[in-house]
Amino acid sequence: MTDNQTSRPVTVTLASGPAGTGSIDDFELFYARRAVDRFRTLLGRRGMLDLLAADIEEGNAFLRENALASGGVFKGGTTVLAAQGLTSGEFLAWMDRAFAGDEKPLLAAHPEHYVMGTDEIGARVVENIGPHVASFYMGGWGTDALDWAEDADELLPEAEFPRKMSSNLFLADGTVVGRALIQFGDTAYGFTAHLTVYFPVTCPEEVLDHHLRHYAVEFRNWIVAAAAARA
């Protein structure tokens, strides 16, 4: 066998067998989601928090250290999604109902969503921030922008993006470790979502980049779930 043959990429395609449509990647995604949902259900909220306790402690320490080292300076990035067949108002109404009820549809939007809900401090999220598992809260979330958001470079015109939400992301001890600014504007066929996240400027670039990917996955799945609930 020559070196050229050795380095040739290997490809596998589905020729026949399963009924219905879909690629092998589609099958794998279905089974991965089903497995993750099974473990979430079996563990429950308390079991998940106990299982991840050491990871959360390490992840929160990472964010706290970077927040202190950055001196309150953040860097941001934006994921832009274009949705068709649903208005931003319909989507946000679904989100409001989801956050007020069972966390299951919120968790289902991303494999690295571990806990979402409200406790005595506020709206709690346990998920990956880059490679780190963190437990943080969203504060000041709503239609009225926080002071920092009013001056954000990413703030879009009110006439085009009238639905805006902003939030500090903070740990249980009050340390602000990030920010979020999401903005929605309707189009002729649906809506556009500008999803901006900010992390301490000292965080590695991969932390920001991975969360932009995280945004793409979770909001795509939430939008699809909102459309399915409406049907």
In this predicted model, what pLDDT tens digit does every residue of 147-160 receive, in sequence order? 888 889 999 999 99
Distance (Å, whole) CA 209 – CA 195: 13
pTM (global) more than 0.85: yes
Over 70: is that where the pLDDT of 131 sits?
Answer: yes
Distance (Å, whole) CA 215 – CA 195: 7
**Per-residue pLDDT tens for 75-118?**
999 999 999 999 999 999 999 888 888 889 999 999 999 999 88
**Per-residue pLDDT tens for 201-217?**
999 999 999 999 999 99
pLDDT of residue 2: 55
**Per-residue pLDDT tens for 8-63?**
899 998 889 998 889 999 999 999 999 999 999 999 999 999 999 999 999 999 99
Over 80: is that where the pLDDT of 144 sits?
Answer: no
| Amino acid at position 171, single letter | L
Average pLDDT taken over every residue of the chain = 92
The set of residues, in sequence order, having a beta carbon less than 8 Å from that of 226 and lying 6+ positions away, is 86, 90, 91, 94, 95
Question: Can you say how many angstroms the Cα of residue 155 is from the centroid of all Cα atoms in its chain?
Answer: 20
Question: Can you say how many angstroms the Cα of residue 8 is from the centroid of all Cα atoms in its chain?
Answer: 36
Q: Percent helix, strand and coil across the chain, each rounded to 5?
A: 40, 25, 30
φ/ψ region of 82 (left if φ > 0, alpha if ψ in -120 to 50, else beta) reads: beta
Backbone angles phi, psi at 18, to 5 degrees: -65, 150
Domain 52-230 sits in CATH 3.30.530.20: yes
- Which own/partner contact pairs does 12-20 have at CB distance under 8 Å and 24+ positions apart? none
Distance (Å, whole) CA 123 – CA 218: 17
Beta strands in 58-175 (DSSP E): 74-84, 113-118, 123-129, 132-139, 163-170
Which tokens is 1 given? 């066998």
Edge-first strand order for the sheet with 113-118 is 74-84, 190-200, 176-186, 163-170, 132-139, 123-129, 113-118
Backbone angles phi, psi at 181, to 5 degrees: -140, 115
